C-alpha cells in the first residue's frame, strides 16, 4: 500500500520554505503532529490550539495546530501530500508497465523459438504466473472430437491434472457460453465452480455427473 511519510515530506527544502512563508503570513503559534502524536514542527507547549487535518483524500495523515488561519497551512500540506501520493502512484504504474513490456518482449522471443502448441502454452502460463503471482495458472483447449475443454498447459500446484469441462460447466464453461471474460476472486465460494476428476473414466462409464 502506497503511503506518504509526513515527516519526510516536511523535511524537503521546498516544503520547508513554503511552511516558513505560510508561518510568517499566519503570524500565530503553530505546531504540526503526525497521527501518533509526535511533534514534527512547532512549539511543543502549545496544546490549546485548534486542530486542522492534513489529509490525502479522506485519509488524515497528520494535524496542524494553530488559530483559524492555520487551516491555510493544513490545506497547503494536504495539497503537497496529495501531489507526493500521485507521484508514487505514477511511479508504481510506470514500473508495472515496464514489467509488462519486458514480459511481452521476453515472451515473444521464447514463442518465436517454438511452434509446438503445448510448448507455446506452457511458456505463456509460466510467464503469466510470474506477473500476477498466482498459485495456479492453466490454459484449456477444446478437443474438437469430444467438444470437451482439456488442460493444455499449467503452472503451479496442479491439483487436478486431468480436469476437463464441457461448455456450460463450471466457471470456465459459463465464460465459453457467454463469451464474456470474468474475474472471480474466490472460486470456491462461486456456485458454478466444479472440479471434474478423471473425466474420461467417468464418461466412459456413462456417468455424466460432476465429481
User: Does residue 48 register a pLDDT over 80?
Assistant: no
**Residues 15-35: what's their mean pLDDT?**
85
pLDDT score for 154: 85
- The C-alpha angle 107, 142, 136, rounded to 5 degrees, equals 50
CA 190 → CA 138, 140, 157, 195, distances in Å? Answer: 19, 20, 21, 12
Q: For the domain that residue 61 is a member of, what is the CATH number?
A: 3.30.450
Q: State pLDDT tens for residues 139-171.
A: 888 888 888 888 888 887 655 556 777 888 888
66 within domain boundaries: yes
Same domain for 141 and 76, yes or no, is: no
CB 161 within 8 A of CB 154: yes
105 within domain boundaries: no
Same domain for 85 and 20, yes or no, is: yes
Name which of 132, 150, 121, 22 is nearest 77 in CA terms: 22
pLDDT score for 196: 45
Q: DSSP of 150-168, one letter per residue?
A: EEEEEEE--S-TT-EEETT
CA 46 → CA 49, 120, 176, 210, distances in Å? Answer: 7, 68, 67, 71
Number of domains in the chain: 2
Q: State pLDDT tens for residues 54-82.
A: 999 999 999 999 888 889 899 999 999 99
CA 140 → CA 45, 124, 192, distances in Å? Answer: 68, 12, 17
Helix (H) or strand (E) holding 135: none
pLDDT score for 198: 39
Same domain for 87 and 139, yes or no, is: no
76 within domain boundaries: yes
User: Does residue 124 register a pLDDT over 60?
Assistant: yes
73 within domain boundaries: yes
The C-alpha atoms of residue 130 and residue 136 are separated, in whole angstroms, by: 10
The C-alpha atoms of residue 77 and residue 55 are separated, in whole angstroms, by: 8
pLDDT score for 202: 43
Domain around 177: 135-204
Same domain for 87 and 17, yes or no, is: yes
141 within domain boundaries: yes
- Note every long-range contact of 92-96, with CB atoms under 8 Å and residues 24 or more positions apart, other chains counting: 92/2
Amino acid at each position: 500500500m502506497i503511503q506518504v511519510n509526513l515527516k519526510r515530506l516536511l523535511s524537503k527544502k521546498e516544503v520547508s520554505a513554503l511552511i516558513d512563508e505560510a508561518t510568517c503570513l499566519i503570524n500565530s503559534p503553530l505546531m504540526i503532529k503526525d497521527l501518533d502524536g509526535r511533534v514534527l514542527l512547532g512549539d511543543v507547549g502549545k496544546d490549546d490550539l485548534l486542530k486542522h487535518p492534513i489529509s490525502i483524500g479522506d485519509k488524515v495523515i497528520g494535524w496542524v495546530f494553530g488559530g483559524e488561519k492555520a487551516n491555510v497551512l493544513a490545506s497547503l500540506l494536504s495539497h503537497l501530500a496529495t501531489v507526493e501520493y500521485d507521484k508514487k502512484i505514477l511511479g508504481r504504474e510506470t514500473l508495472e508497465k515496464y514489467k509488462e513490456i519486458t514480459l511481452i518482449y521476453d515472451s515473444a522471443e521464447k514463442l518465436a523459438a517454438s511452434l509446438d502448441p503445448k510448448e507455446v502454452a506452457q511458456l505463456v502460463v509460466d510467464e503469466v504466473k510470474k506477473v500476477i503471482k498466482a498459485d495456479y495458472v492453466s490454459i484449456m483447449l477444446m478437443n474438437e472430437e469430444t467438444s470437451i475443454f482439456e488442460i493444455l498447459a499449467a503452472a503451479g500446484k496442479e491439483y487436478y491434472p486431468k480436469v476437463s469441462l464441457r461448455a456450460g460447466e463450471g466457471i470456465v464453461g459459463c465464460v465459453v457460453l457467454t463469451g464474456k471474460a470474468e474475474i472471480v476472486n474466490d472460486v470456491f465460494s462461486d456456485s458454478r465452480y466444479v472440479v471434474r476428476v478423471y473425466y474420461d473414466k467417468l464418461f466412459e462409464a456413462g456417468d455424466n455427473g460432476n465429481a
